[in-house]
Amino acid sequence: MAYVSNMVLEVFTVAIWEKKSMLWCSCLMPVLLWWSTEAWAGGVQYELRVDGLACPFCSYGIEKKFKKTPGVTGIEFDLERGLVIVRTAEGVELSEERLQQIVADSGFTLRGVKRRLLESP
Amino acid sequence: MNRAGRGAATGAGMRVTRALLLLAVVLPLAACAWFPMEKEPPYRLVLSWGGLGETPGRFNEPTGIAVHAGEVFVSDARNARIQVFDFEGRFLRQFGTPGEGPGQLGRPMNLTIAGGELYVADYWNDRIQVYSLAGEFRRSVGESGSGPGQFDAPGGVAVAGNGDLFVADFYNQRVQRLRPDGRFVRQWGETRRPGWRAGYFSYPTDVAVAGDGSLYVADGYNDRVQVFAADGRLLRKWGGPFALNIHGSFRGWFATVTSIALGPGGEVFVADFYNDRVQKFTSQGEFLTAFGSAPSGASHTAMAVAVAADGTVFVANLDAHRVERWQQPVATR
């Protein structure tokens, strides 16, 4: 739902901007901004599939790099499924390239990413 | 068949014969070198203690271990503390709290005791922290970075006879030698460039120094041990065929080396993490025996190893959050 909201927000903003209607802009922007904030309120959860997490030198290395990444609020490991679960604060998105870079800096290869918007608390 | 044809056939036959003879010589040699037999009986597990938890005597991921004068020091990584026990597993004391301040710990990893002090590789805080054996914080060496004397996730530390430190600088792909106050002396490996050639490292995890000053490096992801002379020359390396980052579960092969310790007779004990075993070698790299516990969870058991003066071996079992005491069976007539 939140993802759809963001898509709608983007389409609306572009449409309004292209028509150059300042009235529309001034009326709708606050509403759209509020909508946008609501849609992102709970942050994002990323499930990163990474091989070789069992070794603490590896998992602590990933944890260390993500701890230094602004906006990251939590990191967990699911060794059974080979997943690093990263949560971000509201309004913070990490691009796949950024995730790939952090995982590569930790000495791993990112095998896949699942992204899920979190409900606001 | 004419004479020329017969000559060519004979030549080809000779080449095949020579190749077969060569294989007959090389294969048994390779088999002896790469698939060695056990030369000692395996150790047996005599005691274990701990279990997952936060209370004294329990662990949340033990990642380092050291022994001294009847006491066992354990890095309790996720609890950000060091716990101390006697050889029977009785809890004696603990120190360290989570944080970045002096004496606080990020993720404590491999440990070393030298000169009556405990050296802790503080993986998250990029420093070596030094404590008295009673647990009082003494000093800290190093800081974050990749310059001389700086660290990016130190995994293990060893102390030379003159007090110099050797540090396995994990993400910087090197081993540094530093003066006791942290001044840089030299390094092995190329900073931040992993490599499999001799003298290069791929995520070094631990180090140990022998009485003659030779340096033993647990070359983590290269699945091998490299040994350097006191003057810095590479002496030898072992672990799989040609020690060229070929991992496996055969005797003498490794699958990620996470800790290294020297026995009272100079024997080398290596924590072979993904193979859930400790392997024992002579100082020359000749395989002697292997032992370990099977994992019950999703992790692995042989994380760190330490050897007491009487040859008793202590292992930090990551998977079971326990410490294990292993002993060699007493020879009987």
Task: Tell me which residue in B258, B297, B298 faces A57 most closely, judged by beta carbons.
Answer: B258
Contact criterion met (CB below 8 Å) for B183 and B167: no
Does residue A1 carry a pLDDT above 50? no
Q: Give the one of B109, B221, B300 whose C-beta lies nearest to A54's C-beta.
A: B300
Q: What's the whole-number mean pLDDT along residues A31-35?
A: 46
Check CB contact under 8 Å for A64 and B124: yes
Of the candidates B258, B279, B268, B190, the residue with the CA atom closest to the CA atom of residue B236 = B268
pLDDT tens for A51-109 read: 889 999 999 999 999 999 999 999 999 988 999 999 999 999 999 999 999 999 898 88
CB-based burial label for B36 (10 Å; 0-12, 13-18, 19+): middle
Query: Mean pLDDT, 10 residues at a time, over chain B (333 residues)?
Result: 62 81 74 83 96 98 98 98 98 98 98 98 98 98 98 98 98 98 98 97 98 97 98 97 95 97 98 98 98 95 98 98 94 53
Q: Chain-wide mean pLDDT for chain A?
A: 77
Interface residue A61 vs chain B (CB under 8 A): yes
Give percent of chain A with pLDDT exceeding 70: 64
B-side interface with A, Cβ within 8 Å? 61, 63, 77, 106-107, 109, 123-124, 153, 155, 170-171, 203, 205, 220-221, 256, 258, 273-274, 297-300, 303, 318
Nearest residue in A to B319, CA atom: A54
- pLDDT score of A9 more than 80: no
Percent of chain A with pLDDT over 90: 52
Task: Give the CA angle between residues A92, A96, A97 to the nearest 5°.
Answer: 110
Q: How far is CA B246 from CA A18, B38, B289, B302, in A?
A: 60, 21, 20, 19
Cβ-Cβ contacts under 8 Å, B223 against chain A: none
pLDDT of residue B19: 81
The residues pairing with B314 across neighbouring beta strands, listed in sequence order, are B306, B325
Q: What is the pLDDT of residue B25?
A: 74
Least CB-CB distance to A54: which of B123, B124, B298?
B298
Question: How large is the ipTM?
Answer: 0.88
The pLDDT of residue B18: 83
B226 has which bridge partners? B217, B237
- Kindly provide the b/e burial profile for residues B102-112, where b requires at least 16 CB atoms within 10 angstroms of the residue's own CB: ebbbbbbbbbb
CA separation, residue A50 to residues A77, A104, B59, B221, B256 (Å): 10, 10, 26, 16, 17
Chain A residues within an 8 Å CB radius of B124 = 60, 64, 67
Chain B nearest-CA distance from A59, in A, is 11
Burial of B117 (0-12, 13-18, 19+ CB in 10 A): middle
Place of tokens 């004990």: B269
**Cα–Cα distance for residue pair B256/B41, rounded to 1 Å:** 24
d(CA A36, CA A33): 5
pLDDT for the residue numbered A14 = 45
Q: Is the pTM here over 0.90, yes or no? A: no
Please report residues of A whose CB lies closer than 8 A to that of B303: 56
